Amino acid sequence: MHTIRVVRHASERGGWEMVLAAPPPHLAAHIRDYCGYREATPTPLRRQELPGVQVVLILEFGPLLKHLDDAGRVTRHRSGFIAGLDERWSTTEHTGVSHGLQVNLTPLGARRVTGLPMSELSHRVVGLEDLWGLEARRLVEQLASAPHWEARFALVDAFLIRRMERGPAVDAGVRWAVERIHQAGGNLDIATLAQELGHSHKHLIHQFHEHVGLPPRRLARLLRFDRAVQRLKAGGPVRWADLAVELGYFDQAHLNRDFRQFTGGPPSALLRRAIPDAGGFESSAQVKSVQEGLGAEGQDAR
């Protein structure tokens, strides 16, 4: 059984249900969490998808999401897609209705589930039918017809376990190194980590490309940024200088530099784009479009 929390929202912005679940203990090393979602909004909605320390698996049994990359290219993937680790944000858009299930895999879990070297998946979005063919389509059909979310999570678990049983083993040294980076909150000297493992720095980087998709220093930086984003999502007042020190940044300017790289602006700007009730973050383009529309309405009123 999964530990489940349901978040619902209804306002002039639309309505949505997010079913947030933790994995069962035997899958906790491979799956970070799940989010089942059903959403309806009066207008199309664009979200900014932030870099993180998870490999994102999207299973779609509603209208297909658009995925927009930083070059403006738009793709849709029947049945869904998987996105490897990345240091860039991306954008997704739906036309007003969205229904599906997101599984956030750990990089080591994704290595076993996909069977791919993670370097082949990092900085990429791959359609599930390109990866798994009819197996992906059958899974999505089963999810769409399942009676409730717990049944859907169970179906996904069974599918992922079957994939992992066929997948490659993960290097024990890399697993230990990833755990050490997480335990340190991303604040760890990578040269020291390599010495503790008895590897050269070059060999450790090679192993991380194979099993994680990014070198250890970049993973550590993403982890620290991800912890900051989770704090923003939790709500409540934030003192930026205190948050920077708490998370291991040198100072607030260091925190701001990471946010500008990973989100396009300072943390305060991201916070202003937060969608309530587990809704994520609107893209800056979405906010600009809404503001321009409101401006036009104001001019008409005058």
What is the domain count for the chain?
Answer: 1
Q: Is the pLDDT reported for residue 2 higher than 90?
A: no
In a domain, 264, yes or no: no
Q: Is the pLDDT reported for residue 290 higher than 70?
A: no
Q: Is the pLDDT reported for residue 289 higher than 70?
A: no
* CATH number, position 98: 2.60.120.10
CA distance 71 to 59: 24
In a domain, 282, yes or no: no
Q: Is the pLDDT reported for residue 121 higher than 60?
A: yes
Higher pLDDT, 278 or 296: 278
pTM of the model: 0.91
In a domain, 108, yes or no: yes
Helix (H) or strand (E) holding 7: strand 3-11
Mean pLDDT of all residues in 175-180: 96
Q: Is the pLDDT reported for residue 112 higher than 90?
A: yes
E strands, 12-73, in order: 14-22, 31-40, 45-49, 55-60, 66-68
In a domain, 247, yes or no: no
pLDDT digits (tens, 9 = 90+) for 245-280: 999 999 999 999 999 999 999 999 999 999 999 899
Mean pLDDT of all residues in 162-185: 95
User: Which range marks the domain in which residue 93 is found?
Assistant: 3-166
Mean pLDDT of all residues in 292-297: 41
pLDDT digits (tens, 9 = 90+) for 12-68: 999 999 999 999 999 999 999 999 999 999 999 999 999 999 999 999 998 999 998
In a domain, 244, yes or no: no
CA distance 113 to 161: 8
Work out the mean pLDDT of the chain and round it to a whole number.
91
Higher pLDDT, 162 or 287: 162
pLDDT band at 285 (very low <50, low <70, confident <90, very high): low
CA distance 111 to 180: 19
Q: Is the pLDDT reported for residue 301 higher than 60?
A: no
**The predicted structure's pLDDT at residue 217:** 95
In a domain, 171, yes or no: no
**The predicted structure's pLDDT at residue 286:** 58
Higher pLDDT, 291 or 1: 1
CA distance 80 to 98: 12
**The predicted structure's pLDDT at residue 252:** 95
Q: Are 85 and 213 in contact (CB under 8 A)?
A: yes
Q: Rg of the chain's alpha carbons, rounded to an integer?
A: 20
In a domain, 213, yes or no: no
In a domain, 101, yes or no: yes
**The predicted structure's pLDDT at residue 298:** 41
- Please, what is the Cα angle at 22 between 69 and 3, to 5 degrees? 140
Kindly report which listed range (10-19, 143-152, 252-261, 280-289) carries the lowest average pLDDT score: 280-289
